[in-house]
Structures are given as C-alpha cells and as structure tokens.
C-alpha cells in the first residue's frame, strides 16, 4: 500500500515536471512529447527498481524486530549487504548463543575475530565460542591460536590467559598451565587470588611440582578503632554489620579498601591493607589520601540505606602514624 502510494505520487510529480520541460514540443509534436515523457518516466521507475531501495518503503521492513528470530533474520540480511562489520558478527553470535546454537555462534565470532585481529576481547570470545561448540568443551588448535594472539595484543588480558591455561590443562601440560596462570595472581582481588592459587597448586601437583609458597601477610596501612555511641545500641538489629570503608576523597564511591565486621563485635580495631582492596587495579598503597568511614547496615548488606548509622568521615594522609578513631553516632 505504501509502495503503491509512493509510485503514484512520484508518477504524478514526474508528469508535472516533464509537462513543463516538454512544453515547447506540445504544440507541434504532441505525440513525440508524450512518447519522450512516457519513456523517461518508465526509465526512472526501472532505474529505481534496479539501484534504489524500494523495500525501505515497506513498514514491515523498517519496524523493529518483535522476536529474537526476527532480529537474527534482519541482522543476517544486513551482514549479507555489508559483511565487514565485526561488531555486527559479534552481536549475531550473541543472538545465536541465546538461541542455543553454539556452532552458529562459533562461526559468527570467527568472522568477527578475522575482521578485528587486534581486538583481544573478540579474539578471546571467538576462542571460547569454539570450546562451547565442542561436545567435550575442548579448546582446539585454532582456539589456542586465537588466545595466543589475544595475549600478544594484551598480555594482561585476564580471560585470554585463564582460557589458555585451561587449554593447557586439557592437553596435560600442567606445568605450562600453572606458569600461564601465575601472572593473574597480581591482577585479581584477594578473594579471587585465593581460589586461583588453589587451581595453580593443583596444576603444579599434577606436574610433580611443589605448591607455591604462601603469600606474605599484607602490611597494615591503616589501623581504625571503631566504636558506637551507647545511645544507639538499642537500634542494632540481629545480623547487623559494620563496614569500615576507605575511599578516595572526591573520587569514585567505590572503596579502595573495605572490611565487614558483625555489629555485635563493637567496639573493635580493624587493620586495613592492600588485601582489603576490592579493585585489583587500585590498591590502598597506591593512594596518598583516603576518607575513612564506618557504617552500620541493619540488614547486613553492603548497600546500606539512606538512614544507615555511620560515623563522620575522617581524612587521613598515608601512611598513617597511629590509629584513627571512628565513632558511629547520631550526628
């Protein structure tokens, strides 16, 4: 309906334009004028059908997809017209993964990686997709090559390094897997480092090697004495927690160090170190000044509400020379 209306309007406009252009012939050669005009309009219509995009006038073609299947169909059509889009192939792979089609996801990510050989994320995703499409979840030679290429682009890429170690474990190269994983210990947070160390030691054991030496106890950088105003003791609910937080003044709300303690242990002394840093790329020892705060969460979650009980924030230059006193009161 829309296309018919378009061609009708276009035809009418064409007749008007050609009538004005052929007006000098109208008197003496009316048949010639009509023939020229008709031939020109027909030529324009045929040319549009050949090189234009008449399907763009169809509402069904321009409306958004209503289902994942429709989205896949439209994305595949767009990639047939313009296949040099790594992001498009990656998006198609995600859709195929949602449709539980791992082989098709593998092929789409393979095309994405081939178009973006300097993108370690796509290279790693393509390698992972090959493993997911394998019945035994093994990384084949092509997947391993993708992971090695990703690490050549970015040696600190955590997922590529982890998967490469997994592939080495699958091939019985346990000592190599342990060596591949070892650099990750300096990149991850303390909790992740603990479980990673276990995997490294398992690989070392299977290779006939001794376990890694135990890490040295972290050096305390801040000592905090936390207490509660006695008048607020009645407000504590069972299961309440106290969070001791060190964050950058005026910076991100994400702490550079944090500890959780049961509220029933108040008053207590906490020692903060790099082991308490939730972000592996920003540790307490890397900042020169912090803002200290103690906050009680009545439900035990870290996301304390606006009515949470907390201490007044205190700014401290690092390294601190003595304990910092924080009092949780009704200020």
Is the full-model pTM beyond 0.75?
no
| Spatial CA neighbour of 80 closest among 108, 56, 119, 40 | 108
Q: Give the tens place of pLDDT for each residue, 248-260.
A: 998 788 899 999 9
Q: What gap in Å lies between CA 285 and CA 141, rounded to an integer? A: 42
Taking residues 67-73, report their average pLDDT.
Answer: 82
Q: Give the tens place of pLDDT for each residue, 113-133.
A: 999 999 999 999 999 999 999
In this prediction, residue 236 carries a pLDDT of: 80
In this prediction, residue 39 carries a pLDDT of: 40
Which of 20-24, 70-74, 263-267 holds the top average pLDDT?
A: 263-267
Taking residues 214-226, report their average pLDDT.
Answer: 87
Taking residues 63-85, report their average pLDDT.
Answer: 83
Cα 324 to chain center, whole Å? 38
Confidence of residue 306 (pLDDT cuts 50, 70, 90): low
Tokens 């092929």 belong to residue: 107
Architecture field, domain 85-171: Alpha Horseshoe (1.25)
Cis peptide before 122 (omega within 30 of 0): no
Confidence of residue 19 (pLDDT cuts 50, 70, 90): very low
DSSP state of 311: E
In this prediction, residue 149 carries a pLDDT of: 97
| Spatial CA neighbour of 326 closest among 309, 307, 312 | 312
Taking residues 145-171, report their average pLDDT.
Answer: 97
In this prediction, residue 127 carries a pLDDT of: 98
Q: Does residue 139 carry a pLDDT above 60?
A: yes
Q: What gap in Å lies between CA 257 and CA 276, rounded to an integer? A: 5
| Spatial CA neighbour of 292 closest among 265, 322, 263 | 322
């Amino acid at each position: 309906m829309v296309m018919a209306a378009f061609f009708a309007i276009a035809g009418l406009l064409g007749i008007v334009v050609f009538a004005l252009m052929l007006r000098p012939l109208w008197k003496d050669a009316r048949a010639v004028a009509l023939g020229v005009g008709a031939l020109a309009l027909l030529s324009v219509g045929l040319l549009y059908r050949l090189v234009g995009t008449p399907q763009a006038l169809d509402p069904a073609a321009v409306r958004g997809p209503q289902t994942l299947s429709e989205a896949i169909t439209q994305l595949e059509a767009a990639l047939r017209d313009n296949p040099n889009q790594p992001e498009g192939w990656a998006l198609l792979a995600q859709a195929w993964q949602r449709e539980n089609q791992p082989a098709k996801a593998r092929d789409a990510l393979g095309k994405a990686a081939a178009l973006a050989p300097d993108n370690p994320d796509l290279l790693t995703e393509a390698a992972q997709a090959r493993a997911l499409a394998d019945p035994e979840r093994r990384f084949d030679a092509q997947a391993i090559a993708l992971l090695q290429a990703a690490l050549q682009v970015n040696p600190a890429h955590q997922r590529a390094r982890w998967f490469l170690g997994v592939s080495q474990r699958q091939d019985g190269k346990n000592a190599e897997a342990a060596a591949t994983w070892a650099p990750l210990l300096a990149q991850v947070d303390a909790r992740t480092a603990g479980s990673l160390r276990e995997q490294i030691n398992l690989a070392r054991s299977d290779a006939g090697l001794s376990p890694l030496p135990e890490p040295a106890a972290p050096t305390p950088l801040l000592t905090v004495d936390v207490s509660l105003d006695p008048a607020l003791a009645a407000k504590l609910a069972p299961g309440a927690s106290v969070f001791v937080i060190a964050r950058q003044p005026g910076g991100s709300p994400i702490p550079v160090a944090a500890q959780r303690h049961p509220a029933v242990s108040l008053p207590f002394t906490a020692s903060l170190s790099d082991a308490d840093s939730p972000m592996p790329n920003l540790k307490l020892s890397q900042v020169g000044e912090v803002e200290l705060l103690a906050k009680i969460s009545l439900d035990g979650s870290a996301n304390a509400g606006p009515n949470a009980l907390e201490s007044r924030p205190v700014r401290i230059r690092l390294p601190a020379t003595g304990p910092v006193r924080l009092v949780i009161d009704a200020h």
